[in-house]
């Protein structure tokens, strides 16, 4: 039997568009001679629908859309994910389910058993865990079906498994006849290094149970999350026999008679993860902008690497004709920065304008002079410039129906080296989860074939140019040091003492941690940022803003 692995890009809650897209893919699968098609987790609604699940009308609309899909699908079996109702009088009212249907008939249903509630996941908020064994017979094959997290409990890979049960073990133990094929429907977001972890889980699964395995993942951007697809099939020895593309919709076919399939992408090389991040950011930007109803973007171009990278990603995501780059020079902007911003726009082919802010800055200072009398010049005057820029950019975004893309990176956001209502203004923070060192790596990656980002932009010392002769490292540790400390503290959850033991100066580490803590309020008001690391600022990091914890402080 030929099986189609279909990774598609849903729009959450747009049931008409989702059903139309699924139908088109099913037609392609039938044309390829497939008798079974597999779609991702929650394929009908898109993942994650979050609190839309609390609205009965949303659930009713999903049920109607699914019924229409079942009614009009013929000539092929379909295994897909959807939200189902929990008939029991106790427990959460919904299940995260997988259903098998064919020729207008619903054949089997099973429910997700392991409901993640860490990082960006909050499935236990909505769903009741399932307990069924998830085995179905279809066209002579005995299928063992799981949903995403159900296979993420490998004791050989995770020193402390998060769950006491192993759904795959339980399923195979309860099966009355031997299972022929393991299948996993997923909506697994991209982060750096995750592809390698998945591959190890899949290989271990095949070798442990001596069974072939199919994994079908959602693709596309959804708010801060980016789903990379990378659907895959392996034989019982753990050898990859089919792999879909990454970061785009795709269909690959597996033949269960020969256990051969189509290879549409190559394994991720850990040395080439910079390119993976670039593709992820392009997809995340495109989908966020377009799914929110926009087609055009505006970006403030400072002549620095952050705004240059953001503009390059936007041009790839939306087309250069849909991106406006705006230079807003202040009294402290260097001529070279303005030249670099203009050259970048030419290299990208985007629209470019210059809007000086010196006059507005002087007007602000004049208006504030009576209140500021006798006070020394400090960071306030720097922030005024950033806020003037933010105000002008938002005005242009409103007038021209563009989405303003903010340009701050993770390193700066972590320590508050950014201005609330200034450079933090915008509808999407494209590189908010990209550390500064990775920003430079991405810029060099984009320049691999030709100069996209001016070399001078990459080589010059970074500066906000809000004061005379200002440099970032006048106020911050060197970025290689800062990024290493941030990774240890934010992503590895190391203590100050542990980070100091890694070779960093205690005063520097303590100051970085202090800055992270006191700037929590800023990040709570920042635009949504695309997630590419294991721990991004946003819904996956839940720290109190008003708190008094200090490491090592004892009563």
Q: Is 307 annotated as a binding residue?
A: yes
Tell me, yes or no, if 123 is annotated catalytic.
no
3-state helix, strand, coil in the chain (%, to 5): 40, 20, 40
Locate all alpha helices (DSSP H) within 464-539, ordered by sequence.
479-486, 496-501, 506-518, 520-524
Query: Is-contact 167 204, C-beta < 8 A?
Result: no
Residue 41 contacts residue 218 (beta carbons within 8 Å):
yes
Cβ(463)–Cβ(304) under 8 Å?
yes
Q: Annotation-wise, does 531 bind a ligand?
A: no
522 is in an annotated binding site: yes
Q: Is 73 annotated as a binding residue?
A: no
305 is in an annotated binding site: yes
425 is in an annotated binding site: no
300 is in an annotated binding site: yes
Burial of 527 per CB tally in 10 Å (0-12, 13-18, 19+): middle
Check if the beta carbon of residue 138 is closer than 8 Å to that of residue 36: yes
CA distance 99 to 36: 12
Whether the CA torsion 41, 44, 49, 54 is positive or negative: it is negative
- What angle is formed at CA 34 by the lines to CA 40 and CA 76, rounded to 5 degrees? 75
Q: Among residues 195, 218, 203, 214, which one has the least CA distance to residue 266?
A: 195
> Is 170 annotated as contributing to ligand binding?
no
Cα separation, 339 vs 265, in Å, equals: 40
Is 96 within any annotated ligand binding site? no
Q: What is the DSSP string of 278-314?
A: HHHHHHHHHHHHHHTT---EEEE--SSHHHHHHHHHH
Residue (of 414, 420, 415, 458) closest to 433 by Cα position: 414
Q: Could you say which of 34, 41, 206, 465 is catalytic?
A: 41
DSSP line for 128-173 = PPP-S--EEEETTEEEEEEEGGGG---TTT-SS-S-S--HHHHHHH
Q: Which one from 34, 123, 128, 148 is the annotated catalytic residue? A: 148
Q: 421's torsion region: left (phi>0), alpha (psi -120 to 50) or beta? A: left
> Looking up tokens 């009308």, which residue turns up?
57
84 is in an annotated binding site: no
Whether 236 sits among the annotated catalytic residues: the reply is no
| Residue 304 among known ligand-binding residues | yes
Contacts (Cβ under 8 Å, ≥6 apart) of 342 = 327, 352, 354
Q: Is 200 annotated as a binding residue?
A: no
148 part of the active site: yes
What are 503's two structure tokens? 């070779």
Q: Report whether 61 contacts 55 (CB < 8 A).
A: no
459 is in an annotated binding site: no
Q: Is 302 annotated as a binding residue?
A: yes
268 annotated to bind ligand: no
* Active-site choice (80, 112, 123, 291): 112
State the binding site for ATP. 300-307, 407
Question: What are the binding residues?
Answer: 118, 188, 194, 300-307, 383, 407, 412, 522
Instruction: Extract the annotated binding site for deamido-NAD(+).
Output: 383, 412, 522
Binding residues for L-glutamine: 118, 188, 194
- As annotated, the active-site residues are 41, 112, 148
């Amino acid at each position: 039997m030929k099986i189609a692995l279909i990774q598609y890009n849903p729009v959450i809650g747009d049931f008409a568009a989702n059903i139309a897209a699924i139908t088109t893919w099913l037609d392609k699968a039938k044309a390829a001679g497939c008798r079974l098609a597999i779609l991702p987790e929650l394929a009908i609604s898109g993942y994650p629908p979050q609190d839309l699940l609390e609205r009965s009308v949303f659930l009713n609309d999903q049920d109607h859309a699914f019924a229409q899909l079942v009614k009009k699908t013929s000539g092929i079996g379909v295994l897909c994910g959807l939200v189902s109702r929990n008939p029991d009088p106790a427990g959460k009212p919904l299940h995260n389910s997988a259903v098998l249907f064919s020729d207008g008939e619903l054949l089997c249903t099973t429910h997700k058993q392991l409901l993640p509630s860490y990082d960006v996941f909050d499935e236990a908020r909505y769903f009741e865990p399932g307990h069924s064994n998830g085995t179905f017979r279809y066209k002579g094959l005995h299928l063992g079906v799981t949903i995403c997290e159900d296979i993420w409990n490998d004791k050989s890979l995770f020193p402390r498994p998060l769950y006491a049960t192993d759904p795959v073990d339980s399923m195979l133990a309860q099966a009355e006849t031997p299972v022929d094929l393991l299948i996993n429907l997923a909506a697994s977001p991209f982060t750096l290094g995750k592809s390698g972890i998945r591959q190890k889980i899949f290989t271990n699964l095949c070798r442990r149970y001596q069974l072939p395995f199919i994994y079908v993942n959602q693709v596309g951007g959804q708010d801060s999350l980016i789903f990379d697809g990378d659907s895959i099939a392996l034989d019982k020895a753990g050898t990859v026999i089919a792999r879909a593309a990454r970061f785009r919709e795709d269909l690959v076919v597996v033949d269960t008679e020969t256990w051969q399939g189509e290879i549409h992408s190559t394994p991720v090389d850990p040395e080439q993860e910079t390119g993976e991040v670039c593709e992820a950011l392009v997809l995340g930007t495109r989908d966020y902008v377009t799914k929110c109803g926009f087609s055009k973007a505006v970006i403030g171009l400072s002549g620095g690497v952050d705004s240059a990278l953001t503009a390059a990603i936007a041009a790839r995501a939306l087309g250069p004709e849909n991106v406006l780059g705006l230079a807003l020079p202040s009294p402290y902007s260097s001529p070279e920065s303005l030249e670099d911003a203009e050259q970048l726009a030419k290299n990208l082919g985007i629209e470019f304008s210059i809007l000086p802010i010196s006059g507005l800055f002087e007007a602000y200072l004049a208006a504030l002079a009576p209140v500021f009398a006798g006070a020394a010049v400090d960071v306030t005057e720097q922030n005024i410039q950033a806020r003037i820029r933010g105000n002008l950019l938002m005005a242009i975004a409103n007038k021209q129906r563009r989405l303003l893309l903010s340009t701050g990176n993770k390193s700066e956001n972590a320590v508050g080296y950014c201005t609330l209502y200034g450079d933090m203004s915008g509808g999407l923070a494209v590189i908010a989860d990209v550390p500064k060192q990775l920003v430079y790596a991405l810029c060099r990656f984009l320049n691999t074939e030709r100069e996209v980002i001016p070399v001078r932009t990459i080589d010059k010392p970074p500066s906000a140019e809000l004061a005379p002769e200002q440099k970032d490292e006048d106020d911050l540790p060197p970025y290689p040091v800062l990024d290493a400390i941030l990774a240890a503290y934010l992503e590895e959850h190391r203590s100050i003492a542990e980070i100091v033991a890694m070779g960093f100066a205690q005063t520097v580490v303590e100051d970085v941690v202090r800055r992270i803590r006191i700037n929590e309020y800023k990040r709570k008001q920042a635009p949504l940022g695309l997630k590419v690391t294991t721990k991004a600022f946003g819904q996956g990091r839940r720290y109190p803003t008003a708190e008094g914890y200090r490491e090592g402080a004892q009563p």
